[in-house]
Amino acid sequence: MSGCRAVVVGATGAIGSAVTAKFLDEGASVVGGGRSRQKAESLADRERFDFVPVDMESQESVAEFVEQVWSGDGVDVLVHLAATDSQGLALGVTDEEWSRVIEVNLSSTFRLVREMGRRMVDRGLGGRIVLYSSTRSEFAGRAGFAPYGASKAGVNFLVKQLATEWAPHGICVNAVAPGFVLSEITESRASSEFVEMMKRRVPANRLGTAEEMASPAVFLASDDASFMTGQVLFVDGGVTCSS
């Protein structure tokens, strides 16, 4: 990835930090995006890393972020992981909760990718876009995933549609769908009993690591995946194939 300029939105989460570290290890320069500069301190001492604040709940913040990261040398790779969740049965989901999750996980994702894609098309040098989906985009849980699963299912379709439209411009659009990994978005429901239950559901009989969820993003951004677009890679220890 030497000479590549990558933007990682959601760079301060468990998987986002691992994605950022892997791109840096491969020689890319990385602009990390997120709400908390403080959370990016663990990466701040890395060479070729910069941090630009962005709030995916704010259309203005997303627009300003895109303008800022595109100034100068432009962007070769966008990796987008920022997401939010809600808990509880569908009957208890309020309109406000539904709107918040769909706004952050789908609508703001579209705005971000649209503006990044527009600039990639105008530049005429192609590019790579890697979104992060979830196994919940394909398979329901017993409770609590109505807004989140619907938003990630929308991301999966967005990948296919944008890949189709932008392939003539040399832009590949793909997604990674992680299985169960301990991260900020899951720690709130990850009691020891829950973790053991999840392990029993995974054919690999263990949870995934953030690093295992990060490696596919580097592959999809590389020249090795130059003829691969419109795909959602499920990295889940066999959960979806055995469900």
> What pLDDT does 120 receive?
97
Output the 3-class SS for 148-196: HHHHHHHHHHHHHHHHHHHHHHCEEEEEEEECCCCCCCCHHHCCHHHHH
Report pLDDT for 53.
93
206: left (phi over 0), alpha (psi -120 to 50) or beta: beta
Query: How much of the chain, in percent, has pLDDT values that exceed 70?
Result: 96
The lowest-confidence range among 32-41, 85-94, 162-171 is 32-41
DSSP characters for 103-164?
A: IIIIIHHHHHHHHHHHHHHHHTS-EEEEEE--GGGTS--SSS-HHHHHHHHHHHHHHHHHHH
The end-to-end CA distance of the chain, in Å, is 36
Q: Structural domain tally of the chain?
A: 1
Is the Cβ–Cβ distance between 135 and 86 less than 8 Å?
no
pLDDT, position 189: 59
For the cut 60, the answer to whether the pLDDT of residue 185 exceeds it is no
- What local confidence, expressed as pLDDT, does residue 50 receive? 93
| Alpha-carbon torsion angle 180, 183, 184, 188, nearest 10 | 50
pLDDT tens, residue by residue, 15-70: 999 999 999 999 999 999 998 777 777 777 788 999 999 999 999 999 999 999 99
Average pLDDT, stretch 170-197?
79
Mean pLDDT score, 236-240: 90
Domain extent, residue 20, equals: 5-242
The structure's pTM equals 0.93
User: Would you state the pLDDT for residue 40?
Assistant: 75
Is the pLDDT confidence value at 184 over 60? no
Return the percentage of the chain with pLDDT > 90, whole number.
Answer: 71
Residues designated as active site: 148
Give the whole-angstrom CA distance, residue 197 versus residue 26. 36
Task: State the average pLDDT for the chain.
Answer: 91
Predicted confidence (pLDDT) at residue 190 exceeds the cutoff of 70: no
CATH number of 175's domain: 3.40.50.720
pLDDT score of 186 more than 60 = no
What pLDDT does 188 receive?
Answer: 59
Residues 223-228 have a mean pLDDT of: 96
> Greatest CA separation found in the chain?
51
pLDDT tens per residue across span 206-224: 889 999 999 999 999 999 9
Q: Residues 127-154: pLDDT tens digits?
A: 999 999 999 898 887 777 899 999 999 9
Q: Which long-range contacts (CB under 8 A, 24 or more apart) does 182-188 make?
A: 182/14, 182/207, 183/13, 183/14, 183/15, 183/210, 184/13, 184/14, 185/13, 185/83, 185/84, 185/85, 188/87
- Encoded tokens for 225: 């995946």
